[in-house]
Structure 1
């Protein structure tokens, strides 16, 4: 009882201004209780202040430690992402380097990126661009003009780059563009091709201004271009050590030299397969809308093979004949005209083809052969299409020996001008 009463007793200032305790240090903590010179006990307020300061320091240290832990966690997370990205890039780099090593020494030369900048004069003269990157005019040390295709950084896993180098390095044909070198340095990738002064076939067939004579080609020239492309595809399918399927035949990928000799280019979507293998496996569709064979995007129509290139070739030759894309997107969509169907009806009824610039009987014969061959090439069933070897024979043979095939079952899907340049990549 006395102990409880002593704890209730208050403290009072002593003569030194300190709080004294009458019966020991019952009003403060033990570490705050002091004995003065007179022998009396008192509570030291300085110790209380020291405790408050110590508490503040402890809280500050705890807060700093927490912030440091958060920063470490964030750093580790970012470091992990960077490491994963680096590992991915490193893996892609190793894939390409392994290909170059396994196929070496390649006949074509490997350049440094500094060489690419030098030969293109720091990319001053741009020839064109696409989803892959840009093409620039360049010059080698010996004065030879070249076209340098600079691929976009971090594009896929290097498959398109490998396809291009692997495919063209295996070829040697007058109707296949020559690869003269390449650059693979870190994320920098470039392909050096022979320079083609007349650019792509595309700019010569989609003519919207007849007054521009530099964009018009005579029918004989178009006919010879069609034969040249067919010979190039025949070589890819049968003339190489391994069969090469292009999968992106279209006017944009046909280049013309100073004499309008056509050369097939852009092998980014190509697939190399053994010559004895007729059907190839793919994970998804590849090619450009408007030129893709039915079996490429739907296996119900048949297996994917070299006949898929035949279909693309037929659609392209139709555009060469019509001077426009097979679907006329400038007219009302409720009455779109699919050019192959339109020309088929006229051909079947022996009507005038309604084509301009046919100067003589030879032009008429060339055009009719191109149309009949194209109709055979775009047959829905791949087995009904001729091989490219047969296509060349049909074009170079007599018109009388050609029979008009059945009308193709499929109607080309509607598309916009942007869709016609859209490339479907492997899923």
Structure 2
């Protein structure tokens, strides 16, 4: 084994020596290929930390600050800094502009006088708001005859026209013909839930796509240089090594021949080494864990899982063997929890990071939970979604490795009848309110912040984990479903989720199609439990004697009665609790179309209580306490 490693090292070193003769050192040799910045995700060129100005030209500030401290991004030199919320993929980020949102709340007309000020295209890069809404600003006196679905917002010297339908069949070009004398404006958008109010879909949060120019992409990715602008704002590629181009005639042929010989020698030597390794393994009956993936196994889950991992391509999460998992968990010494999926253990990585390791039961289904979890969460990056750091697929052994959450799940903090004697487990109203907003932000990200929409289907207190600062993170994606963003209705066979949190449409399609609004329902039920400090159903109680929990909450809210929360100390606490209650009752409306989107939920929670309308009373009794439905609990 030692001889094999030495041989591989010498061959790789030889090949790198040959290849390096054709490439210069350049700036890239001193710059990391990627970097992290707090909990915002993984960044690559053209992003760079402000401490490394030569490694890119879009600067991020605050990476050396605390893990949760705000991160600011400067999209162009001397431009305004904007808060960076998350990175979705290599060149797509989410930004938050609270200043724009505040101006919008105070003076719509002045704020919408010009398009949102993203930097203009340059010879280096272009910026695009992925989700945007088009408005038309028309001066008074113009004879405007807009399409039927367009609304009008009146200002002192001009009018704003905007489309009331999210998926209008009127194209931008066709709409432009109706407003030929008007100015076209574009702004970040959100879900259209209140089409008569312009504030309901112009957003202070946006998803921005950053695209390198063809010249800049060629300079950095193919020639190893840095994209620059000269004094006249013209593009040039800086510090490109021209050794290969300078080598001509015999020297160039010799270089190419040496590279081919080096590659050929390495292939032959590795082939011989592999044969020697296989012979040694067969003779000693020892197979490395990596070879277990290719052994024939009695489990039928492996072909599906291996095919899935192959389709996913490179994952950000690291892959571990089962032996590694045992070392990480100290032979599974500290158990954190147990469920139908398997067990969760506390562990520590080699860099001393604490982790939670979920070891899946070998008899659990056909590997669908494992596939769902890895597929849905491995490429997410959000402060309110738990991070998948690694996974194990070693023979029949499957495990998932997550960041460790010191405060455990929300469940143990909100039910007064569970541990009434422990006052230290009772959270104050402000913390409960912040947790509700954090979970809403996380769900909003899953529904519309990722490349593909992720539906969780099992939002409940048990699946909301809390870090050392009680920042909530959504976990357990075993029931999740990934669907294209354009598809509003998804195909689901049978109910999935936990009784008490399952939306009516998951039991019967007569209530409507299954969509991201099903997560909204589960979220609403969970917030109701946070407000009432009790489970919304008690499965041991007979249906005939059960008082449907949302009816109880609605009645007390309607009569302006106290909900009995010990955490309410003043009027501010009272307002936060009432706001959470009203929003949650909107979320559990029976008809999915009457429920708000998660973006609207965030807006309602962060907005003014006085503008919130009282929702209709929920008319269903809990459908999930029947014996049939209880079998679907996860």
TM over 0.5: yes
In the other structure, the counterpart of 1:135 is 344
Question: Does structure 1 residue 393 correspond to structure 2 residue 603?
Answer: yes
Which deviations, in whole Å up to 9, do the C-alpha atoms of 1:25-63 show, x marking residues without a partner?
A: xxxxxxxxxxxxxxxxxxxxxxxxxxxxxxxxxxxxxxx
Asked whether 1:178 is paired with 2:387, we answer yes
Change (3 A) 1:168 1:329: closer
**Counterpart of 2:531?**
321
TM-score by length of 2: 0.51
**Secondary structure in 2 aligned to 1:287?**
coil
With over 3 angstroms needed to count, the CA separation of the structure-2 counterparts of 1:274 and 1:342, relative to structure 1, is same
1:200 and 2:403 equivalent? no
Q: Would you say 1:405 and 2:615 are equivalent positions?
A: yes
Residues 361-386 of structure 1 deviation map (CA, whole Å, 9 limit, x = unaligned): 11000000000001000000000000
Which residue is equivalent to 2:314?
A: 105
Aligned to 2:286: none
Residue 286 (structure 1) aligned with residue 286 (structure 2) = no
Shift of 1:204: 0.5
Query: Would you say how many aligned residue pairs link Structure 1 and Structure 2?
Result: 339
Which residue of structure 2 aligns with residue 368 of structure 1? 578
* Greater Cα offset, 202-211 or 355-364: 202-211
Cα 1:424–1:156, aligned 2, differ >3 Å: closer, same or farther?
same
Q: Which residue is equivalent to 1:161?
A: 370
TM-score under structure 1 length normalisation: 0.76
Is 1:296–1:304's contact at 8 Å kept on the other side of the alignment? Answer: yes
Tell me, yes or no, if the aligned pair for 2:532 and 2:563 is still in contact at 8 Å.
Answer: no
Moved more, 92-101 or 176-185: 92-101
User: Displacement of 1:414 after TM fit?
Assistant: 6.3
Alignment of 1:10-409 (within 5 A): 89=298, 91-208=300-417, 209-328=419-538, 335-409=545-619
1:300–1:332 Cα change, 3 Å: closer
Range with bigger deviation, 212-221 or 330-339: 330-339
Once the two structures are TM-superposed, the CA of residue 354 in structure 1 deviates from its matched residue by 3.1
Q: Contact 1:328–1:338 (CA<8 Å) still a contact in 2?
A: no
Distance apart, 1:345 and its partner CA:
1.2
- Alpha-carbon separation, structure 2, partners of 1:132 and 1:175: 23
CA RMSD of aligned residues (A): 2.1
* Equivalent pair of 2:320/2:390 in contact (CA under 8 Å): yes
- Runs of 5+ unmatched residues, structure 2: 1-294
In the alignment, the residues of structure 1 paired with residue 432 and residue 501 of structure 2 have an alpha-carbon distance, to the nearest angstrom, of 19
User: Hey, what's the Cα distance between the residues in 2 that align with 1:421 and 1:250?
Assistant: 16
SS at match of 1:137: strand
How far off its partner does 1:329 sit?
6.0
Larger Rg: 1
- Tell me: CA distance 1:258–1:235, structure 2 relative to 1, closer, same or farther (3 Å): same
Q: CA deviation at 1:157?
A: 1.6
Structure 1, unaligned runs of 5 or more: 1-85
Counterpart Cα distance in 2 of 1:400 and 1:127? 43
More deviation, 360-369/349-358: 349-358
> Aligned equivalents of 2:565 and 2:362: distance in 1?
45
Map Cα deviations across residues 364-412 of structure 1 (whole Å, 9 max, x no partner): 0000000000100000000000000000000000000100110112111
Contact 2:411 2:461 in 1 (8 A): yes
Task: State the partner residue of 1:6.
Answer: none
SS in 2 for 1:138: strand
| TM-superposed deviation, 1:338 | 1.9
**Structure with the larger strand share:** 2
Contact persistence 1:285–1:424 (CA under 8 A): no
TM-aligned CA distance change 1:414 to 1:217, over 3 Å: same
Relative distance call for 1:130 and 1:331 in structure 2 (3 A) is closer
Corresponding position of 1:31: none
Conservation of the 8 A alpha-carbon contact between 2:299 and 2:396: no
CA distance in 1: counterparts of 2:617 and 2:571, whole angstroms:
26
User: Structure 1's 344 and 88: CA in aligned 2 closer, same or farther, altered over 3 A?
Assistant: farther
**Does the 8 Å CA contact 2:452/2:482 hold for their aligned counterparts?**
yes
How far the C-alpha of 1:339 sits from its partner, in A, is 2.1
For 1:263 and 1:245, the matched residues in 2 are separated by 15
- The Cα shift of 1:332 comes to 7.8
